[in-house]
């Protein structure tokens, strides 16, 4: 059971330039195309979420759980995914330019070799 519904989450994202969502449980939610730029998602549970097309630029996702997450076409430019769990996540077409993936678990994750993670 997630902490917030998609509608509630949209209300939070709307009121803050740097949304404070550390530790939030959003498991299984439809998060397509939402704007998480500069959000604090440290240790958030985002497993089984649909984040395709989401704008996650410069977000903090240290130790976040992104197992089975659909991140196709998501913008993760400068995102901090240090020690995040991306097991079986789909990163096809995601923008990982300057993203921090130190210590992240990318086991079984799908990464498009043509994706824009070069500078």
Partner 1 sequence: MAEFTRFEIFQLLNGNKPLWLGKVDLSEADLRGAILHGAVLTGANLQKAQLQGADLVGANLGGANLQDANLVGADLRKAYLRGTDLRRADLHEANLAEADLTDVNLSDSNLLDANLGAADLTNANLSNANLTGTNAPDHKILRAKSLFGTVMPDGTIHE
| Dihedral sign, Cα of residue 33, residue 106, residue 60, residue 98 | negative
Q: Which of 27, 31, 42, 100 binds partner 1 (CB under 8 A)?
A: 42
Q: Say whether residue 11 binds partner 1 (CB under 8 A).
A: yes
Find the shortest distance in angstroms from Cβ 25 to partner 1: 8
Give least dist CB 61 to partner 1, A.
Answer: 13
Alpha helices (runs of H) in 1-119, residue ranges in sequence order? 6-15
CB closer to partner 1, 23 vs 28: 23
In angstroms, what is the minimal distance from the CB of 14 to partner 1?
A: 9
Compute φ and ψ for 55, nearest 5 degrees. -100, 100
Dist. CA 107–CA 93, nearest whole Å: 18
20 touches partner 1 by CB under 8 A: yes
Nearest CB to partner 1, comparing residues 24 and 69: 24
DSSP summary character for residue 85: B
12 binds partner 1 (CB under 8 A): yes
- As a whole number of angstroms, the distance between CA 35 and CA 33 comes to 7
Q: Which residue's structure tokens are 């949304």?
A: 19
Q: Applying CB under 8 A, which residues contact partner 1?
A: 3-5, 8, 11-12, 15-16, 19-24, 40, 42-43
């Amino acid at each position: 059971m997630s902490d917030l519904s998609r509608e509630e989450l949209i209300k939070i994202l709307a009121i803050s330039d740097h949304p404070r969502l550390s530790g939030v449980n959003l498991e299984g939610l439809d998060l397509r195309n939402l704007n998480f730029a500069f959000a604090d998602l440290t240790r958030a549970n985002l497993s089984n979420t649909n984040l395709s097309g989401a704008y996650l630029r410069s977000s903090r996702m240290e130790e976040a759980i992104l197992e089975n997450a659909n991140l196709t076409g998501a913008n993760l430019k400068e995102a901090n995914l240090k020690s995040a769990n991306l097991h079986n996540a789909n990163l096809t077409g995601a923008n990982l330019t300057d993203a921090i993936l130190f210590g992240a678990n990318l086991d079984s994750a799908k990464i498009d070799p043509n994706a824009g993670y070069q500078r």
